[in-house]
Amino acid sequence: MKRAGAPPPPLADDTRGDEAGRRPPPLPRDAQADVDHLRERCVEARPAWRGSFLDVRRDRVALPDGTETVREYIVHPGAVMIVPLIGADRVVIERQWRYPVGRAMLEFPAGKLEPGEPVLDCAVRELIEETGYRAAEWARAGILHNAIGYSDEGIEVWFARGLARGERRLDAGEFLDVFEAGIDELEAAAGRGEITDAKTLIGLLWLAHWRAGQWPLRWMGAAGPS
């Protein structure tokens, strides 16, 4: 019987990797090394539906144990997201209506790549079109895959600083608000569950690690269309 005021018992060691009680192997340094036991191979590529933007596939694939199944997924042209910095502690953020979820979302500026368009050119173009800001310096952070279970979409994450305000060039049928917000304010909103857009949360994560000196960025001069 537990005595009153006694400390709680230690948590059980739940790090067993298999039924024999062995610990799992360490995290691989190269996530793509030694993956043949996981690999799925396309047996038959099957288009399911194609629109003006999305290409839906329904492929027949062979699993590692030799059985077959179907994988349904969306082919996406790719996109770019920009984290626009204003001084040391403020950023540019947008609000726009997202029809699939039926709500307005707070997001960093972003847009899809046009066929053959260089990634940085897309970032420069989208920042100007959606916000009117032009940046003196740019830095690539990395890429995120936000829906790996059903899409091949990759979103390039870029940072921009040395901003100068100008006129927006919104596309026809595009409606959005643009704000300047404190980084701490946005992090607090994310903590309250008010920011749920995956790419924006990743942008805030990258921003926090960069500000802490943990994830460095290599800055370059402005490029792309004026």
In this predicted model, what pLDDT tens digit does every residue of 105-134 receive, in sequence order? 999 999 999 999 999 999 999 999 999 999
The mean pLDDT value for 12-21 works out to: 54
Q: Among residues 31, 141, 145, 21, which one has the least CA distance to residue 82?
A: 141
58/83 same-domain check = no
Question: Are residue 190 and residue 111 in the same domain, yes or no?
Answer: yes
101 close to 204: Cβ distance less than 8 angstroms: no
Task: Kindly tell me if the per-residue pLDDT of 223 is higher than 80.
Answer: no
| Domain closes at, from 24, 50, 75 | 75
Residues 71 and 132 in one domain: no
Same domain, 52 and 134: no
Number of domains in the chain: 2
Does 158 lie in the same domain as 104?
yes
Answer whether residue 21 is part of any domain: no
Assign 46 a pLDDT band (cuts: 50, 70, 90): very high
User: Is residue 139 predicted with pLDDT exceeding 90?
Assistant: yes
For residue 52, the enclosing domain spans: 41-75
Kindly indicate the confidence band of residue 226, based on its pLDDT and cuts at 50, 70 and 90: very low
Residue 13 lies in a domain: no
pLDDT band at 224 (very low <50, low <70, confident <90, very high): very low
Q: How does pLDDT run across 181-200, given as a tens digit for each residue?
A: 999 999 999 999 999 999 99
pLDDT the model gives residue 225? 41
Q: Rounded to two decimals, what is the model's pTM?
A: 0.85
Is 161 in the same domain as 68?
no
Torsions phi, psi for 119 (to 5 deg): -60, -45
Alpha-carbon distance of 66 to 89, in angstroms, equals: 54
Same domain assignment for residues 64 and 102: no
Across 42-64, average pLDDT = 95
Encoded tokens for 122: 């897309």
The residue-averaged pLDDT of 165-176 equals 86
* Whether residue 122 sits in one domain with residue 173: yes
Q: Residue 131 contacts by C-beta under 8 Å, 6 or more apart in sequence? A: 84, 92, 94, 109, 168, 178
What is the predicted pLDDT for the residue at 8?
A: 58
Reply yes or no on whether the pLDDT at 39 is more than 50.
yes
Q: Please give the backbone phi and psi of residue 173, each rounded to the nearest 5 degrees, phi first.
A: 80, 10
Whichever domain contains 180, its CATH number is 3.90.79.10
In a domain? residue 4: no
Rounded CA separation 204/169 (Å): 26
Residue 90 forms beta bridges with which residues?
86, 182
Answer yes or no: do 62 and 135 share one domain: no
Specify whether 135 is located in the same domain as 189.
yes
Residue 1 lies in a domain: no
Residues 86 and 176 in one domain: yes
Residue where a domain stops, chosen among 75, 96, 123 = 75
What's the whole-number mean pLDDT along residues 199-215? 98
What is the maximum alpha-carbon separation in the chain?
Answer: 74
| Res. 6: pLDDT tops 60 | no
Q: What is the DSSP annotation of the chain?
A: -PPTTPPPPPPP-----STT-PPPPPPPSSTTSS-TTT--EEEE--EEEE-SS-EEEEEEEE-TTS-EEEEEEEE---EEEEEEEETTTEEEEEEEEEGGGTEEEEE--EEEPPTT--HHHHHHHHHHHHH--EEEEEEEEEEE-S-TTTB---EEEEEEEEEE-----PPTT---EEEEEEHHHHHHHHHTT----HHHHHHHHHHHHHHTTSS---EEE--S--
Same domain, 89 and 61: no
